[in-house]
Chain A
Amino acid sequence: MTTHQSELNGFAKGWISYDLRPLEKLIKTNMMADQLTQQQQQQSRSRKSKALSGGTRAPDFTLRSTPDQFVSLSEFRGQPVVLAFYPADWSPVCGDEMALFNEVLPEFQNLGAELVGISVDGAWCHAAFARDRKLHFPLLADFEPKGEVARQYGVYRDGEGVSERALFVIDAEGIIYWSYVSPVGVNPGANGVLSALEDLENKKAAKESEPKELKETR
């Protein structure tokens, strides 16, 4: 009698108990994997809300802008600054986004703002990328400790080791005015940034005209 037949016979008689532990283990593993996927999906859904939002003080940082120069956020105090986090130099969409912002840069500057790009790439990589694309604004290297600034702003993609494609408009006092996290493969465009900067301009103009009116009424 072969083993197979004996098993069948045993099964028919109802006294053989199969070792179900491997199967149970498999089912458990699958369930855990499912839960994990759900968690990941939730994480990716909640990613947007993790990003620092309007009204929050922008965490200060100092990052390399070239192999021998550093830029601190606090240097921009007194004027709005746009932080454009992007996943990586050279990848096609990033190129498009940075190329687009490069073209819109004069409009940002007309609104009194400066622009910086930030990714986890190193300063030498940034230098080559900026030269190739003829970028007229600094790229900062969030390189060591890797992604530290992106983490502070809530836009680091754990497990992937890059930042989200995220935009922050910070006002002259260093408070985040507007932020936006775009799907990683989608170029967010410059319209949202321009609207935010125009808002800031309008508020500034309104503020400046206030004391004057007061003087007049006195």
Chain B
Amino acid sequence: MKGAQTDDIPATRLTVPVARRDHIQGPLDAPVTLLEYGDYECPACGQAFPMIKAVQERLGDTLCFAYRHFPLTNVHPHSEHAAEAAEAAGAQGKFWMMHDILFENQDALEDEDLVRYAAALQLKARRLIAEVEAGAYATRLREDFMSGIRGGVNGTPTFFINGIRYDGARALSALLEAVTVPPVG
């Protein structure tokens, strides 16, 4: 059997393009699409959170921001339930509100905290926690995760700008520069 070439470079291009299935903010056909693979318990994602807000503010309607889950569940024991809670809130029409609360409260992601946030967002808290406990969105989370793996996501946060992995600095200035002159995907 002939072996594969040594030194094949793993892909760093998005294999599953941002689409209706995704949680997005901004028009799907915006000239710039910024996709984040994130984990609600990852400190670096927490640091990136206000940067994304700033980028969104700066670019307005010319930006489509999308978020996919990439929980490292073994090192971040709360990440899976947090992602499930965001999806469960999404099922009740409030994905982004829960998303923001989770990133703003990374040190309080116990199940009781999730119930509190559900109540604060006036969601059906009992339904939300039942879904979280049942892992109702496990398939969706795995899809997100594997789409990341196949696209070259090796940790969090990983950003794709118009489908190409962003390998620059995790600083607002660098990110702004990258989205202002986005590569053609």
Contacts and interface: CB of A to CB of B under 8 A. Distances in A.
A199 B14 CA distance: 20
B5 interface: yes
B12 to A, nearest CB: 9
B154 A55 contact: no
A51 B6 contact: yes
Contact of B154 (A49, A133, A189): A189
Interface string B148-174: 011111110000000000000000000
B153 A189 contact: yes
Interface string A104-140: 1001000000000000000000000000011110000
A56 B4 CA distance: 11
A188 B74 contact: no
Interface string A77-107: 0000000000000000001110110111001
A54 B10 contact: no
Interface in A56-88: 56
Contacts of B112: none
Interface residues of A, number: 40
Interface stretch (A6-14, A17-25, A27-35, A176-184): A176-184
Given A179-B6, A203-B1, A99 B154 contact: no
B74 A134 contact: yes
A99 B7 contact: no
Given A191-B11, A191-B150, A178 B74 contact: no
Nearest to B11: A191
Interface in B3-52: 3-11
A136 B149 CA distance: 18
B72 interface: yes
Question: Number of contact residues on B: which range applies?
Answer: 20 to 34
Contact of A54 (B5, B145, B150): B5
Nearest to A54: B3
A99 B75 contact: yes
B154 A194 contact: no
A188 B155 CA distance: 10
Contacts of A192: 8-10
Contacts of B149: 100, 104, 107, 189-191, 194
A95 B76 CA distance: 13
Nearest to A171: B1
A86 to B, nearest CB: 13
Contacts of B150: 191, 194
Given A100-B155, A190-B149, A133 B75 contact: yes
Given A100-B154, A203-B1, A134 B75 contact: yes
Contact of A103 (B3, B11, B74): B74
A206 to B, nearest CB: 11
Nearest to A107: B146
A155 to B, nearest CB: 11
B3 A175 contact: yes
Interface string A163-200: 00000000101011111110000011111101110010
A157 interface: no
Contact of A177 (B3, B10, B75): B3
Interface of A: 48-49, 51, 53-56, 95-97, 99-100, 102-104, 107, 133-136, 171, 173, 175-181, 187-192, 194-196, 199, 203
